[in-house]
Amino acid sequence: MKLHSSLLALIAIASTASAGSLYEVPLKDIEGQDTSLKPYEGKVMLIVNVASKCGNTKQYTELQALHEEFEKEGLAVLGFPCNDFGGQEPGTNADIKEFCSLKYHVTFPMFDKITVKGPNKHPLYQELSGPTSPFPGDVKWNFGKFLVGRDGKILARFEPKTKPDDAAVLSAIKDALAK
């Protein structure tokens, strides 16, 4: 019985620590500067693994539109380039930044290129898609999306082919912003 109570306490601690730990994960922005998700605490975050040479790359347009429409209400669209799927993000951070700026006029925050699956998975994606996530399992392709609430809890996961302006995505964002 004592062991059972201890296990339940550990599970409760792990569950509450997980929500706050997203904000503590060390990151680098697209310029290579140290940062974290702490500046987005209290905001709704749409975290997306992105790539420049993917069939889904045109989703940058829709992500930028979400950013423009909902930023003032508290939505932060956050782009994390990755080269995990077919080598579709081969460029440097400078190349990625230039591409996104010139071709898609991206103004939402972009971060350092990371790994989102496999044994070298970045700690952020260990939190988002690891076994303790409410939506576990490796990201399947570029432009997978995780919606995180103002409290740091993962609210929804959308597969790569689900466009940012899909009714389900918009509904989930609006619901999260209303809380």
The candidate with the shortest Cα–Cα distance to 48, out of 92, 114, 120, is 114
Residue with structure tokens 């103002």? 150
pTM of the model: 0.89
Domain membership of residue 126 as a residue range = 2-178
The C-alpha angle 141, 147, 153, rounded to 5 degrees, equals 125
Q: What is the CATH number of the domain that holds 43?
A: 3.40.30.10
User: What is the domain count for the chain?
Assistant: 1
Summarize the confidence of residues 128-137 as an average pLDDT. 96
Task: Report the percent of the chain where pLDDT is more than 70.
Answer: 89
Averaged pLDDT score across all residues of the chain: 91
Q: Using the predicted structure, report yes or no on whether residue 3 has a pLDDT greater than 70.
A: no
User: Are 40 and 77 in contact, with CB atoms under 8 Å apart?
Assistant: no
Look at phi and psi of residue 39 and say left if phi exceeds 0, alpha if psi is from -120 to 50, else beta.
alpha
pLDDT of residue 20: 57
Alpha carbon distance 68, 165 (integer Å):
13
Alpha carbon distance 52, 171 (integer Å):
27
Summarize the confidence of residues 98-107 as an average pLDDT. 98
Active site residue 82: no
Summarize the confidence of residues 168-174 as an average pLDDT. 99
pLDDT of residue 2: 43
Considering the candidates 19, 54, 170, 177, report the single residue annotated as catalytic.
54
Q: Using the predicted structure, report yes or no on whether residue 14 has a pLDDT greater than 70.
A: no
Instruction: List Cα–Cα distances, 48 to 33, 34, 95, 144, in angstroms.
Output: 19, 19, 18, 6
